[in-house]
């Protein structure tokens, strides 16, 4: 780690605890797209630099409500648990966790209530969406998502029993885990990256005998409804593909393209604190061709370890990585890492939260 920089959020986002529940990040020129897992919003922060052009932090937050851009199955107020963001040309993609959750036991609960809560599994429908949002240049010269831009319309997958979870309902590997909450090794999406006309979707869980899972789809506009996405078929007729990565027992916590390579943030699959590792899958993000599809089985030897990241015990969970614009970092390639449940030392006196800048080895 080279240093830390502050991310400053507005009053509303601090009140919603977005700054301490960061779950996704993507760099976009001078801007940083971030999301928290307790709201149904996407945030845009703007870079601040010193007199030498060196990045000093991000602020000037602007909040975009998903319900202003796409229909949400459970309405405006329920969280969407956004766990992945990526930009592809003039589009911003956002994906929910697609996970069930088991209710937590809190310290004041008696034994009977604690037992009832452990038996209670909740589905929140806003979590089961994949959104594609058109980006335009706003009056301030910065990108902003809109509901429509000419013939481009914001669109969503997951409103009509056609979510990614529905797509996997008969999958021989993943179907048994769809009824299991995320923190119990059930389905839990935590990263997304573009690859040509395809999306890679990383799963924190399930982890199958030490192998993490990545799902590949070709989302396209439904010809009957420009506000709806559907999973287009591959040449072999399949509507999705699965790839299995030997992360030595860890799940996928984020995905980040880096040229033709894919950076994989790996960490514990369930509610545990443990190793957090950044790996490089070389060539995984090159434009796909029928004769050069990514392999379905990716052995540990095919993944380069970039390095380990710090983690706390019950805190400081690395949830998102982004490659920074070299114009902000003196020409050197560096990563920004954001954390869920930040330790007290990450909470600055001016109500900012500190993110890490990490030098990316060549």
247's enclosing H/E stretch is none
> What's the CATH fold of domain 3-359?
Tachylectin-2; Chain A (2.115.10)
- Could you give the CA distance from residue 351 to residue 281 in angstroms, rounded to a whole number? 37
pLDDT of residue 348: 83
Q: Are 126 and 80 in contact (CB under 8 A)?
A: yes
Residue 288, pLDDT above cutoff 70: no
- Could you give the CA distance from residue 329 to residue 46 in angstroms, rounded to a whole number? 15
Residue 361, pLDDT above cutoff 50: yes
Hey, where are the domains in the chain?
3-359
Residue 355, pLDDT above cutoff 80: yes
pLDDT of residue 291: 47
75: Cα separation from own chain's centroid: 21
Average of pLDDT values for 137-157? 96
- Could you give the CA distance from residue 10 to residue 39 in angstroms, rounded to a whole number? 14
Evaluate the omega torsion of the peptide bond into residue 206 and state whether it is cis, within 30 degrees of 0: yes
Residue 50, pLDDT above cutoff 70: yes
What predicted TM-score, i.e. pTM, was given to this entire model?
0.95
- Could you give the CA distance from residue 276 to residue 352 in angstroms, rounded to a whole number? 24
Average of pLDDT values for 270-281? 89
Residue 77: pLDDT band (50, 70, 90) is confident
pLDDT of residue 290: 46
pLDDT of residue 91: 97
Residue 335, pLDDT above cutoff 70: yes
Alpha-carbon distance values, 5 to 54, 56, 81, 335 (Å): 11, 6, 25, 12
Residue 289, pLDDT above cutoff 60: no
Average of pLDDT values for 245-272? 94
């Amino acid at each position: 780690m080279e240093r830390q920089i502050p991310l400053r959020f507005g009053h509303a986002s601090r009140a919603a605890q977005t700054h301490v529940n960061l779950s996704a990040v993507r760099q976009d020129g001078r801007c940083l797209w971030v999301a928290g897992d307790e709201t149904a919003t996407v945030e845009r922060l703007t870079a601040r630099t010193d007199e030498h052009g060196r990045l000093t932090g991000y602020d000037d937050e602007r909040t975009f409500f998903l319900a202003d851009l796409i229909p949400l199955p459970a309405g405006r107020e329920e969280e969407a648990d956004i766990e992945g963001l990526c930009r592809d040309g003039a589009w911003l993609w956002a994906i929910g966790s697609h996970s069930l959750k088991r209710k937590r036991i809190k310290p004041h609960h008696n034994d009977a209530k604690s037992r009832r809560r452990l038996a209670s599994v909740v589905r929140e429908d806003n979590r089961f969406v994949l959104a594609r949002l058109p980006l335009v240049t706003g009056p301030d010269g910065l990108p902003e998502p809109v509901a429509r831009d000419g013939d481009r319309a914001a669109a969503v997958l997951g409103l009509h029993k056609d979510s990614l979870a529905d797509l996997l309902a008969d999958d021989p590997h993943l179907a048994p885990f769809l009824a299991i909450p995320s923190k119990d090794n059930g389905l839990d999406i935590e990263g997304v990256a573009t690859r040509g006309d395809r999306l890679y979707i990383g799963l924190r869980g399930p982890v199958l005998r030490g192998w993490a899972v990545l799902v590949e789809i070709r989302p396209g506009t439904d010809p009957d409804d420009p506000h709806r996405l559907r999973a287009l078929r591959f040449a072999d007729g399949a509507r999705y593909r699965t790839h299995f990565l030997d992360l030595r027992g860890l799940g996928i916590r984020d995905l980040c393209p880096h040229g033709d390579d894919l950076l994989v943030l790996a960490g514990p699959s369930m509610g545990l604190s443990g190793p957090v590792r950044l790996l490089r899958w070389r060539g995984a993000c090159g434009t796909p061709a029928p004769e050069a599809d990514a392999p379905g089985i990716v052995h540990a030897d095919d993944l380069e370890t970039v390095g380990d990241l710090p983690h706390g015990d019950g805190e400081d969970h690395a949830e998102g990585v982004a490659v920074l614009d070299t114009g902000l970092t003196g020409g050197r390639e560096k990563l920004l890492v954001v954390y869920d449940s930040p330790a007290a030392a990450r909470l600055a006196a001016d109500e900012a939260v500190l993110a890490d800048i990490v030098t990316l080895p060549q």
